[in-house]
């Protein structure tokens, strides 16, 4: 489709053209039911199949085995900021957080609303969050340590995690199913779908079964993970169309890309192309040291804020959207989620070269 732009938004992000084409083809008549998937009751076998098959595909792609449950919730990552401490701790208990930018700060703020002993055990605020902490002085009595594996606003990503002796809780919203990952250190993983595996409206939560017995019994049912596990992510009406797109995305990842390992190689290739160009240019500058750089979100600066604004405007006119920084920061940002192609990155680099040449 010649009229499509190159989409580098940080979320909701790009969708693969084959997924859009299949959704378009099935829009009016899903599985010969004579209606759209948007019209299906959430109680139909077809919708439950979409949910169950999506959970099974995630388990297979991540090698989860029987030790974990996979559920799909609403409320984005933001709802998980409060559900996690409610489910995994009780009043007065210790919970530890690592501050690496905007979204971890949001998670900390929500946890501090509860009567919990919240500690920020490491922060990178002193360097404007352009690196990751070397040490995690967790408290042995902590119920968990919360970490964000990829920081969309600051362009940093944990490539390996320090070993700790308490459960790891991870916000993986922006690198979920985008790289090969050892799940052994994690006890709870959450990721909203709108970056790598679908639309807004669906959040995948992966929780180790051994944690379920300690969830407090006095939680509202809607905020209790066990409710959604028991009802197979269908306790109340899910975001049916968003769930359907996640299902299509998971099939695309497996059948057309070849799985997470193949996707990870493509993502590394995209990031290397862009970082190499930036590093070899005196016109663009990445503020993140190489060892901390995100494969998903590449942040960079031009010489002045005015020039950055001009770059963003010119990029959009040329068909490259979503290259402005997060609203809380200056500079530029390019998001390289699963659906962004190598060809899109190559086209962006060509534009960056022409913009630089014209200055």
Contact in structure between 193 and 248 (CB atoms under 8 Å): no
Catalytic residue from among 96, 143, 195, 224 = 195
Q: Which of 196, 218, 121 is nearest to 166 (CA)?
A: 121
171 is catalytic: yes
**Active-site option among 103, 158, 247, 252:** 103
CA dist 117 and 150 (Å) reads 25
Please tell me the number of Cα atoms within 13 Å of 349 on its side-chain side.
Answer: 19
Mode of pairing for the β-strands spanning 320-321 and 6-7: parallel
Work out the number of other CB atoms within 10 angstroms of the CB of residue 346: 14
Residue 283: burial class (beta carbons within 10 Å; 0-12, 13-18, 19+): middle
Torsion of CA 263, 266, 270, 275, to 10 degrees: 90
**184 exposure class (CB count in 10 Å sphere: 0-12, 13-18, 19+):** exposed
Burial 126-161, CB ≥16 within 10 A → b, else e: eeebbbbeeebebeeebbbbbbbbbbbbbbbbbeeb
Tokens of 4: 């499509």
For 19-68, the DSSP string reads HHHHHHHHSS-GGGSSS-GGGS-TTSHHHHHHHHHHHHHHHHHHT-GGGE
Number of H helices, E strands in the chain: 9, 13
- Phi and psi at residue 37, in whole multiples of 5°? -60, -25
Using CA atoms, how far apart are residues 213 and 262, in angstroms rounded to an integer?
Answer: 37
Q: Answer yes or no: 158 catalytic.
A: no
One of 96, 99, 171, 224 is an active-site residue; which one? 171
Residues with a catalytic annotation lie at: 103, 171, 195
């Amino acid at each position: 489709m010649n009229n499509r732009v190159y989409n580098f938004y940080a979320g909701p992000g790009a969708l693969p053209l084959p997924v859009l084409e299949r959704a378009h083809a099935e829009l009016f008549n899903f599985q010969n039911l004579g209606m759209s998937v948007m019209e299906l009751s959430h109680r139909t076998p077809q919708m439950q199949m979409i949910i169950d098959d999506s959970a099974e595909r995630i388990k297979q792609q991540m090698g989860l085995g029987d030790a974990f449950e996979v559920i799909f919730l609403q409320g984005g990552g933001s709802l998980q900021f409060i559900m996690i401490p409610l489910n995994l701790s009780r009043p007065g208990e210790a919970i530890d957080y690592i501050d690496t930018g905007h979204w971890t700060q949001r998670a900390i703020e929500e946890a501090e609303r509860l009567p919990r002993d919240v500690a920020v055990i490491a922060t990178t605020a002193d360097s404007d969050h352009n690196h990751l902490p070397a040490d995690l002085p967790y408290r042995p009595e902590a119920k968990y340590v919360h970490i964000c594996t990829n920081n969309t606003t600051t362009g940093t990503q944990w490539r390996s995690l320090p070993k700790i002796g308490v459960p790891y809780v991870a916000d993986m919203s922006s690198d979920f199913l985008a790289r090969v990952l050892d799940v052994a250190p994690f006890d709870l993983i959450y990721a909203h779908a709108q970056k790598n595996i679908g639309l807004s409206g669906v959040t995948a939560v992966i929780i180790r079964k051994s944690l379920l017995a300690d969830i407090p019994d006095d939680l509202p049912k809607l905020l209790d993970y066990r409710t959604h596990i028991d009802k197979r992510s269908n306790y109340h009406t899910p975001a049916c169309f968003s769930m359907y797109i996640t299902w299509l995305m998971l099939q695309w990842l497996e059948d057309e890309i070849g799985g997470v390992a193949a996707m990870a190689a493509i993502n590394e290739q995209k990031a290397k192309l862009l970082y190499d160009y930036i590093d070899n240019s005196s016109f663009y500058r990445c503020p993140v040291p190489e060892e901390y750089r995100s494969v998903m979100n590449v942040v960079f600066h031009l010489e002045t804020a005015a020039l950055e604004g001009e770059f963003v405007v010119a990029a959009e006119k040329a068909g490259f959207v979503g290259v402005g920084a997060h609203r809380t920061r200056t500079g530029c940002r390019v998001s390289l989620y699963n659906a962004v192609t190598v060809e899109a990155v190559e086209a962006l680099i060509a534009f960056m070269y022409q913009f630089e040449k014209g200055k």
